[in-house]
Structure 1
Amino acid sequence: MHKMSGEMQSCIDECLRCYQSCLGMASNHCLPAGGKHVEPEHFRLMMACAEICRTSAHFMLIGLPEHTHTCRACAEVCEACARSCEAVGDMQDCVAQCRRCAETCRKMTA
C-alpha cells in the first residue's frame, strides 16, 4: 500500500464529510422543507457535490495520481454548492463543509 500523506488523509476526510453532509442535508432537510430547497438546479448541485466528493475520496484512497483531476472538479462543485446552499438559506452546516472540502481539494491540486 502506498504511503498516504497527512494532507491527503485530511482531504479524504473532508471529502467524505462533505459527501455525508450534502447527501444527508438533501435527503433529510431539503426534501422535507420543499420550496426553494428542492428547486432542480439546487438539488442536482447537492447530488453532484455528494458524488464528486465520494469519487475524489475514492481516487485518493486507491492511490491514483489522477486524483488531482477529481479534486480540481470537486473544489469547483463544492464552491458552487456552497453558493447555492447560502442562497437558499438555513443550510449553514452544508455551506461550511463544502467550503472546507473545496479548500483541502485545492491543496491536493497544487
Structure 2
Amino acid sequence: MHDVSPEMQRCIDACLACYRTCLGMASRHCLEAGGPHVEPEHFRLMLSCAEACRASAELMLIGSAVHRHQCGACAEICAACARSCEEVGDMDACVAACRACEEACRKMAA
C-alpha cells in the first residue's frame, strides 16, 4: 500500500464528505422540495459533483498517478455545484461541502 500524505488524506475525506452530502441532498432534500431544486441542470450538476468526488477519492485511494487530473476537474465541478446550490437556496450544507472539496482538490491538482 502506498503512503497517503496528510494533505491527500484531507482531500480524500473532503471528497467523500462532498459525495455523501451531494448525493444525500439530491435524493432526500431536492427531490422532496421540488421546484428549482429539481430543475434538470441543477439536479444533474449535483449528481455529477457526487460522482466526480467519488472518483477523485477512489483514484487517490488506489494510488493512481492520474488523480491530479481528476482532482482538477472535480474542483471545477464542485465550484459550479456550490454556485448552483447557492442560487437555488436552502442548501448550505451542500455549498459548504462543495467549497471544502474544491479547495482540497485544487491543492491536490497543483
Task: Tell me if TM exceeds 0.5.
Answer: yes
Deviation string 1:16-61 (CA, Å, 9 cap, x unpaired) is 0000000000001000000000000000000000000000000000
TM superposition score normalised by structure 2: 0.99
1:48 corresponds to: 48
2:104 corresponds to: 104
Hey, what's the Cα distance between the residues in 1 that align with 2:50 and 2:109? 19
After the TM superposition, which residues 22-101 of structure 1 pair with which residues of structure 2 at under 5 Å, given as runs? 22-101=22-101
**Cα RMSD for the two superposed structures:** 0.4
1:17 corresponds to: 17
Runs of 4+ in structure 1 deviating by more than 2 angstroms, as ranges, are none
- For structure 2, the 5+ residue unaligned runs are none
TM superposition score normalised by structure 1: 0.99
SS at match of 2:65: coil
Aligned-pair identity in percent equals 70
Hey, what's the Cα distance between the residues in 2 that align with 1:48 and 1:107? 21
- For structure 1, the 5+ residue unaligned runs are none
Hey, what's the Cα distance between the residues in 2 that align with 1:57 and 1:29? 24
SS at match of 1:107: helix
User: How many pairs are equivalent?
Assistant: 110
Hey, what's the Cα distance between the residues in 2 that align with 1:11 and 1:83? 20
